[in-house]
Amino acid sequence: MSVRRLKLASAMAVAICAMPALPRARQAPVFRAAADLVAVDVRVVTAAGEPVLGLAPDAFDVSINGRRRRLVTADFVGAPRAATAGASNGAVATPPGGVAPPAPAVTQDGRTFVIALDVMSLRSDAIGTVLAAAREFVGALPPADRVGVFTFPGGAGLDPTIDRRAVAKALERTAGIGDAPLGIGNPYQLLPSQLADITGARQREPSVSIRNPPANTTLGRIVNQVCAFDRDPEQCKLVLVAEAEKLAVYEEGLALQRIGALRGLLGRLATQPGPKTVVLISDGILQTDVPGGRPELGDLGLLVGREAARADATIYALYVDRQRTDLAAAASGARRRPIDNPQRDSGILARPLDQIAGPSGGRVFTLVQGGGEPFFARILSETSAHYLLGVEPADADRDGEPRHLTVKVKGLPRGAVVRARAWVVVPQRAPAGPAAAAAAAPPPARASIWDPVPPTPSERPRERGSIWDPVPPSDGPPRVTALDEIYAAYAAGQSSVIGERLRTREDFERIRPDVMRGLARWRQDWTPRRAAFALELSIAAIARHWPNPLGFVTSAREIVTSRPDPPGRNPEDDRFEMLFHRSAVAVLASVDAPREVEAYLEAIADRVATDGRPPTAARLVDSRLSLARAAARERLTLPATSARRASAAGAPWSWVATPEAREERRRLQDVLDLLDVAALVGTPDAATRDEIAVRRAFVSYRLGHYAEALAILDGHPAADPLVASWRDLLRGRTLAALNRLDDAAAAYEQAARLAPGAQTAAVALASIRLRLGDREGAERWAAIARTMTAEPDPWTTYWTADSRFLPAWIADLRHGRP
Amino acid sequence: MIVRAWPLVSLPMIVAVAVAAPQAPVFRATAKTVVVDVSVSRNGRPVMGLAAADFHLADNGVPQTLVDVSQETLPIDLTVVADLSATADGSALDALRRSIGDVLGRLHPDDHASLVVFDQRIREVDVSARGLQITVDSTWTASSPARLFDAIAAALVKPLDPARRRMTIVFTEGRDQGSFLDEAELIDVASRSGVAVFIVGVTDGTARAPQPPANLPLLQHLADATGGIVAVVQRDQDLGASFVRALEDFRTSYVLRYTPAGTAAGGWHRLDVSVPRERAAEVRARKGYFDAPPASPRDEARPR
């Protein structure tokens, strides 16, 4: 047994021993007068996390919205011990001067735990130890407890089950996709605090130039501080603010997506009876701590706390503090600048977790080293027993809305704390008659509790703080809007109507409110044709430079994913949805937005499997989309201009990653893994298989595996002329690396034959002919490169991936049901 | 002080008769002759009146005897390479047109000029037509690739006329996206091309708050490898003047000729050029030239 495992076992044993002794176990209380009382779980624990027993009902003081409410009952409820718990010494705490604790009631039904993994933040190299600790935590739970696994923002997972093996497998399969702080595409290695400072200063000093801001401004001082440690300070000063703003918007989107997924989880848990414990594991959520800075998440933490109240869920969060784990890891070699402030960065990332966990009655633990064994042991201990209070609400409380809850306990031992949620929802009194019966009827069965719960208009929370929903949907009856008119023409087959009616940005601005409301409305009333129309709006937005064009892609996606049938139920709609996702991803690829492609695919991960996690009945698979994911990741391996300059101490940048370029090589390996997924999921057609092979060969080449790359290319004579052209270009490059210059020239000539007049093949031939000493041949090909303009040049389309299919796919989407 | 050197010919060459201009010398040779362009300047001004005896040139470390040194006698082949992604608005495009017009107006009657523009496509523009017909690709957007590396390579590989000197002026912001060639391959092509590359790097800075162009180390590397220079132009500075300065700098450089002796044929030849009597002057000479079908030093250096 490893040291880590021993530590966890020991911690678990302590936790289990801390569970109340149950010499005379009795049944858990059947809640009395359930129709009139509100159940409130309260955990009272010592500083060490041991439950405090023996509290009498008059020790509790409960208020709703600041008004004291009568406490009718206070029962102490303990969980049955795990089969592996072993003997207990009955170590429990009692209040000073307290009475001997009564035997707690034991719930026999088992509790519900959900392990929620924020895979977008968790780093692949660090998640293993945490998941191992989580598996042991699950093993230490009593057999009757149900455990679910939920990965987000994708939303895939395992329904709560008592099958421990299934849970262990689900945890084993989970992979983190987090990257360096602030993710891929952060060439200046900005830290959260620096991002907040720059965007905050930008907000306060809007008139200051963002390119090389003057040193006597706040923005200039911050930029100078950060850029002083860059390899090219002058270039850094030019672009840092723009990079920071771009990054902040992107991170904001990611954070909203992740919190949205968490809210979705709570919404689903609300449909399940009984209290639940959510164990949230995350590398943190970025929210500015500077007024006016970004990312700004508003009061979303508060919203999540309220939704936890609705779901009767307590959230315990494990914050994996990368800032300090990297520092703690002796071998990490993480570069630190004197201006870096890891403590502040940790605080920034942990704060949203605290805002989420605190109001739910849980708390945040910070992991600096190891797998979080003490955290899991503490959860075991804290959740081993609780007081179930029966509170009598006032009539004014019965409105079905979250109300602020306060629970105080008198006579606590020193250091003991009370954990209770900060919000309570008191249902309205049930009406009598058939309506009551209907209301009491169980919700329709769903394949999985992770299936989205279609919100009713009245309960649908407003998307407050969303960067993409600036105009909230109108609650009134729909009226015929300009959008409706344009759509009516589109649905009637006039596909050019968008371009005709919205020629200028002013045209768009005039109907913008209608568009926003209309798209939001369509989420409640989807049709395939509407989704196609929304996607075409995104293409127009890009072409016409409307604000936030990619937001239209998100809106269109939300229309498709709001369809009532989950994936797998309606083959016709499934086909449409898949083609839609392909097209949407192609739109993003066409504007060179690989990070948005990844975010899009993450957002639909509960519907379409593209990341290697095994598909479930509720998830569709599509090798083309998996390939698009790999292509986006491949695009992200290309260094920014600034990174190129910094490569190998100023050596010219090369496609081939040097052994020292470890980060680039790791990313290239990620691409290979994703290409493996694309090859294995679904049933890739021949063209897709060929493209997977060609891309795999190029990545192999870039890793310096020339022979392997050549073998792959020689084994895949692609039928698609475009892919065949890529193949021949890359074959030429690989042969040149193997010093087979004549063969390389022949391969390039083959590429030129496949795409006559293509400039890339001609440039490659000019280069290789020059190396061969064939000056005349080189000059001939260079002249061709200067004068021929085949469209599209195959190499240009390599990086825009599936955008080459967009016209055909959009034409197909237009045939969707209106 | 600016120092520049430019080997006109980088491949083994049997120099035949070259008579291009009334003042141009006539060379007759039956052996391999290497032509090297050398810029000598002091305090930013060209040093004039130097003779063969004033230069010291070593080929792979072996001192060579110069057979000829000339200045301002051979006509020039000028290629301007213009990055249209650096001209996102109309005024920038107009400034570029004017600058190219200025430099073309400075050419002598026996000089030649050509223009290559690029964004995501590379295309040669006819400079003989009245008014430069430079237009930005209508499909170009901020996210369109600007194939800087591929475009420079395509522009550099042109027929060499031993009776003419070749220079290229590249107007760019320094950003590349979508090229098939990488930086190392571009440097390789440039080293073999026999063309001096002058870079006019444009930025969004101002004279009071100057900024460097993107990818400045690469641009500098490219100029150094070919004997050119990099001129950085801020947005409030005269673009045309930088074009003209590049042309004049090239025109006033010396052309050295020698027949390699005591060095093995083939491969990469390192060049060292100095002017011992002008110790305060800066002498710019390219690092070397390729002879015969070589094995690129880059190939050997690159990981397998």
Q: Which residue has the tokens 């993994």?
A: A117
By the CB < 8 Å criterion, does A206 face chain B?
no
> Closest approach of chain B CAs to the CA of A743, in angstroms?
15
Chain B residues within 8 A of A654 when measuring between CB atoms: 182-185, 302
Q: Which residue of B has its CA nearest to A734?
A: B304
> According to the model, what pLDDT value does residue A737 have?
96
DSSP assignment of A743-758: HHHHHHHHHHHHSTT-
By the CB < 8 Å criterion, does A662 face chain B?
no
Given a contact cutoff of 8 angstroms between Cβ atoms, the answer to whether A439 and A53 are in contact is no
How many Cβ atoms from other residues are within 10 Å of residue A795's Cβ?
A: 25
Interface of A with B in 559-618 (CB under 8 A): 591-592
Round the average pLDDT of chain B to a whole number and report it: 78
Given a contact cutoff of 8 angstroms between Cβ atoms, the answer to whether A518 and A481 are in contact is yes
Rounded distance, CA A21 to CA B294, Å?
84
Instruction: Between A285 and A625, name the one with better pLDDT.
Output: A625
Confidence of residue A370 (pLDDT cuts 50, 70, 90): confident
Chain B residues within 8 A of A781 when measuring between CB atoms: 157
> According to the model, what pLDDT value does residue B152 have?
97
Given a contact cutoff of 8 angstroms between Cβ atoms, the answer to whether A283 and A350 are in contact is no
Rounded to an integer, the average pLDDT of A625-654 is 75
Given a contact cutoff of 8 angstroms between Cβ atoms, the answer to whether A169 and A194 are in contact is no
Instruction: Between B153 and A456, name the one with better pLDDT.
Output: B153
> According to the model, what pLDDT value does residue B20 have?
33
> Closest approach of chain A CAs to the CA of B124, in angstroms?
5
Q: Which of A72-76, A339-343, A356-360, A635-639 has the lowest mean pLDDT?
A: A339-343
ipTM of the complex, rounded to two decimals: 0.83
Rounded distance, CA A315 to CA A303, Å?
13
Round the average pLDDT of chain A to a whole number and report it: 78
Q: Which residue of A has its CA nearest to B296?
A: A771
How buried is residue A453: exposed, middle or buried, by Cβ count under 10 Å (0-12/13-18/19+)?
middle
Confidence of residue A183 (pLDDT cuts 50, 70, 90): low
> Closest approach of chain B CAs to the CA of A809, in angstroms?
21
> Closest approach of chain B CAs to the CA of A171, in angstroms?
39
Which of B122, B185, B212 lies closest to A759 in CB terms?
Answer: B122
Tokens of A298: 């508003």
pLDDT at B126 over 60: yes
Helix (H) or strand (E) holding A786: helix A775-787
> According to the model, what pLDDT value does residue B180 have?
95
> According to the model, what pLDDT value does residue A326 have?
62
pLDDT at A733 over 70: yes
By the CB < 8 Å criterion, does A706 face chain B?
yes
Chain A residues within 8 A of B85 when measuring between CB atoms: none
Percent of all residues in chain B with a pLDDT value above 90, rounded to a whole number: 26
Which of A237, A652, A796 lies closest to B183 in CB terms?
Answer: A652
Chain B residues within 8 A of A655 when measuring between CB atoms: 182
Q: Which residue of A has its CA nearest to B145?
A: A796
Chain B residues within 8 A of A760 when measuring between CB atoms: 150, 180
By the CB < 8 Å criterion, does B294 face chain A?
yes
Q: List, for residues A519-536, the tens digit of each pLDDT value.
A: 888 888 899 999 999 999
Rounded distance, CA B17 to CA A549, Å?
63
Instruction: Between A129 and A101, name the one with better pLDDT.
Output: A129
> According to the model, what pLDDT value does residue A338 have?
65
> According to the model, what pLDDT value does residue A4 have?
41
Size of interface A-B (CB pairs under 8 A): 149
> According to the model, what pLDDT value does residue B88 have?
53
> According to the model, what pLDDT value does residue A181 have?
55
Q: Which residues contact A463 (CB under 8 A, 6 or more apart)?
A: A469, A472
Rounded to an integer, the average pLDDT of A253-276 is 79
Given a contact cutoff of 8 angstroms between Cβ atoms, the answer to whether A305 and A270 are in contact is no
- A276 closest CA partner among A399, A375, A428, A146: A146
Given a contact cutoff of 8 angstroms between Cβ atoms, the answer to whether A88 and A81 are in contact is yes
Q: Which of A56-60, B161-165, B203-207 has the lowest mean pLDDT?
A: B203-207
Interface of B with A in 157-186 (CB under 8 A): 157-160, 174-178, 180-186
Rounded to an integer, the average pLDDT of B99-104 is 84
Q: Which residue of A has its CA nearest to B115?
A: A786
> Closest approach of chain B CAs to the CA of A644, in angstroms?
8
> According to the model, what pLDDT value does residue A470 have?
32
Rounded distance, CA A72 to CA A175, Å?
47
Which of A773, A787, A796 lies closest to B293 in CB terms?
Answer: A773
pLDDT at B44 over 70: yes
Say whether pTM exceeds 0.80: no
Q: Which residue of B has its CA nearest to A656?
A: B303
Q: Do B214 and A237 touch (CB under 8 A)?
A: no
Rounded to an integer, the average pLDDT of B219-229 is 90
Rounded to an integer, the average pLDDT of A786-804 is 84
Rounded to an integer, the average pLDDT of A512-516 is 80
Rounded distance, CA A229 to CA A242, Å?
18
DSSP assignment of A45-85: E-TTSPBBP---GGGEEEEETTEEEEEEEEEEEEPPPPTT-
> According to the model, what pLDDT value does residue A640 have?
62
